[in-house]
Amino acid sequence: MTDMGNAVNVFTRFYHFQTTKYHEFIFIISNFAISTKHQPMTKFKFMLCSLLALLWVLPLQAGNGFVTQRDGQLWRDGQPYYFVGTNFWYGAILGSKGQGGDRERLNRELDFLKEQGIDNLRILVGADGERGVKTKVEPMLQVAPGVYNDTILDGLDYLLTEMGKRGMVAVLYLNNSWEWSGGYGFYLEQAGEGKAPRPNEDGYPAFMNFVQKYATSEKAHQLFYNYVRFIISRVNRYTGKAYKDDPTIMSWQIGNEPRAFSKEALPAFEKWLREASSLIRSLDGNHLISIGSEGAWGCEGSYDSYKRICSDPNIDYCNIHLWPYN
C-alpha cells in the first residue's frame, strides 16, 4: 500500500545497532575471560560479567513503547501491534480546566474504554477560529494564527498523561478539511481569501467551492506549518516529556479527511501533503505519520492519486474511512 523503504532502513539500522551492541559486549566479556585465562576467573568476576551483560541487553529487549511499522506490520515493544480504536475527538477539551472540561468524566471514560479493550484513540489536537458558530467545536485552541488557548493545551497534556498511565496511545490529527473545527476554512480566511461559507447556512456546494482554494494557497499552508511546528515542539507540563519523545502518541495525522475538493486541485493537493509529511518528519523522527484520508473518495475518486499520496516515503501507513459510498 505504501513505500516502506525509509522506515525499514531506519529500523534495520537500529536493529543492527542493537545486534552489534550485544555482540560487542560479548566480545568484551570474551576478551576479559581470555585475558584472565592464566588466572582462574573467580565466581565474583563471573557473576559481575553476567550482571553487566544482563543490564546491557535488557533495555534492548524491553523496547521503548513507540509504535513502529516494518514490512507492512505495526510493532510495539518487539511484538506485532493490533488494536481496537475509536474516535475521541473531544479528549483535549474534556481534559481541560475550562469550558467543556471535566477531568472526572475523562478518567471514567478512559477507564471504561480500557476495560472494553479500546486503547487507541483518535483525537483532535484543537479547533481553530472564531467562537459562536453553531456548527463548530468550542472552545477553540487557535483563536488566531499563533494565538493559542492555554486551557486546551493543558487539557491535551493532561489527556496524554492519563492515557500513558493506562498504556493507551493517541492518533493526533492536526487539520480538518471540514468546517466543524476550523481547518481549511480558518487558514484560508487568515490568508486573505475571504469569509468561509457556512454549510448549514450557505450549503455544502458553496463551502466546498471555497475550500478547494486551500490546495494552492501557499500562505494558508505556511500558517498551518507554523501551527504544526508549535504543537510538535511542545513539552507536556505534567510529565516534562516533549511530545516528540512521548510513546503515548502513536501517530501524527495531517488532517481529518483532507481533500482536494476538485480534480484540478489534485496535483497541488498531493504536493501539500508531501510538504506537510516532510515537515513533520523533520521535527519528529520517533512517531508514525498518517494522512487521515477517506481513501479514493478523498482524492476525487482517483485511486491513482490515493496510491500516490500513500507512496510518500514519510507516510508510514494509510487509512480509509469506510462508509457505503467509499
* Residue the block writes with cell 582462574: 40
The pLDDT value recorded for residue 47 is 58
The pLDDT value recorded for residue 64 is 87
- Report the C-alpha gap between 151 and 139 in whole angstroms: 9
**Which CATH number applies to 71-310?**
3.20.20.80
Copy the grid coordinates of residue 171. 492518533
The pLDDT value recorded for residue 265 is 97
- Helix or strand or coil: residue 60? helix
Do the Cβ atoms of 161 and 242 come closer than 8 Å? no
Task: Name the pTM for this structure.
Answer: 0.81
Tell how far CA 17 is from the center of its chain.
26
The pLDDT value recorded for residue 324 is 80
- Burial (CB < 10 A; 0-12, 13-18, 19+), residue 104, is exposed
Closest CA to 126 of 145, 98, 102, 148: 148
Q: What is the DSSP letter of 198?
A: P
Mean pLDDT, contiguous 10-residue spans, the chain (326 residues): 35 29 30 38 54 45 81 94 97 97 98 98 97 92 97 98 98 97 98 96 96 98 98 98 98 98 98 98 98 95 97 96 79
The pLDDT value recorded for residue 225 is 98
Q: Are strands 169-173 and 147-148 parallel, antiparallel or unpaired?
A: unpaired
Instruction: Give counts: helices (H), strands (E), the chain.
Output: 11, 10
The pLDDT value recorded for residue 322 is 87
